Amino acid sequence: MDITSAEWWFALLNIIFIDLVLAGDNAIVIALAARNLPADKQKKAIIWGTVGAITIRILATLLVVKLLDLPWLHLAGGILLVWIAVRLLVQEEQHEDIKAGATLWQAIRTIIIADAAMGLDNVIAVAGAASGHMMLVVIGLIISIPVVVWGSTLFIKLVNRFNWILYVGGGVLAFTAAKMIAGEKAAVFNLKGYFADRPVLYWAFIILVVLGVLVGGYLTNKRKQNKAQPAA
C-alpha cells in the first residue's frame, strides 16, 4: 500500500477506530491504578503509564505482524479476533484485581503491567488491520496515546448512551478478522489463493463473518436481558 492511496488511509482509520473501541478497558485500568494518588501526580501516572504501555504494545504488535508471515497464523489470528469481537459485544469485564498504586512509580508500573496483560485483543486487531505495514502500526498506535488518555472516558460515555456504537466496533473487528482468515496462505489451506480469482465469494465470506458476529452478539445480549428481567 502506498501512503497516498485510499487503501492506506482506510487502513489507518481502521486502526485508529480499533484503538478507540478497545480503549475502554485501558481507561478503567488507568483510573483504578491512579485513583489513590494526589491530583498532581495522577496526571503524571496517566501520561507516563500510557506511554510505557503503548511502547510495549507497539513492540508486541510489530512482532505479531512479523509472525503473521508464518503459515496458519493468519487463520489462528483471525479466529481469535472473531472471539474478541464477540466478547466485546457480550462480555462484562471485571477489574477488581487492579490495585491502586500508593506511589507514582507503583501506579505507572500497574498501568503498564495490566495493559500488557490485557492488550492482546488490541495487538491482534491492529496487526490484522495493518496487513503487514509497519508504518501503519506505529502511526496508528502513536495516535492512540491521546485517544487512551483523553478520549477513552468520553467514548465509554458515548457507548453507554448510544449502544449501537459498540456494534459498529464489533463489526470493524469482525471485518478485520475475516480479512485475516481470507489472507491465510498455508500450503494445504491456501484461502488467499482460493479467493484471489473469486471476489464475489471473498466478499460473501467477509459479510457472512461480520453478520455472524453481529447477530450472535445481539441475540446473546437479548437473551441475557430477558433472563435479567423479573418474571411477570
Range of the domain at 159: 11-226
Closest listed residue to residue 77, CA positions, set 183, 172, 167, 169: 183
Per-residue pLDDT tens for 60-99? Answer: 877 887 777 778 888 888 888 888 788 777 755 555 555 6
Domain assignment present for residue 231? The answer is no
Domain assignment present for residue 203? The answer is yes
Closest listed residue to residue 107, CA positions, set 28, 32, 54: 32
Per-residue pLDDT tens for 96-135? Answer: 555 666 677 777 777 777 666 666 677 778 778 877 777 8
Domain assignment present for residue 3? The answer is no
Domain assignment present for residue 97? The answer is yes
Domain assignment present for residue 191? The answer is yes
Domain assignment present for residue 232? The answer is no
Domain tally, the chain:
1
Look up the pTM and report it. 0.71
**What integer is the mean pLDDT of 188-204?**
88
DSSP symbol at 231: P
Domain assignment present for residue 1? The answer is no
Domain assignment present for residue 187? The answer is yes
Give the E-state strand segments of 151-217 in sequence order: 185-186, 189-190
**What integer is the mean pLDDT of 148-166?**
67
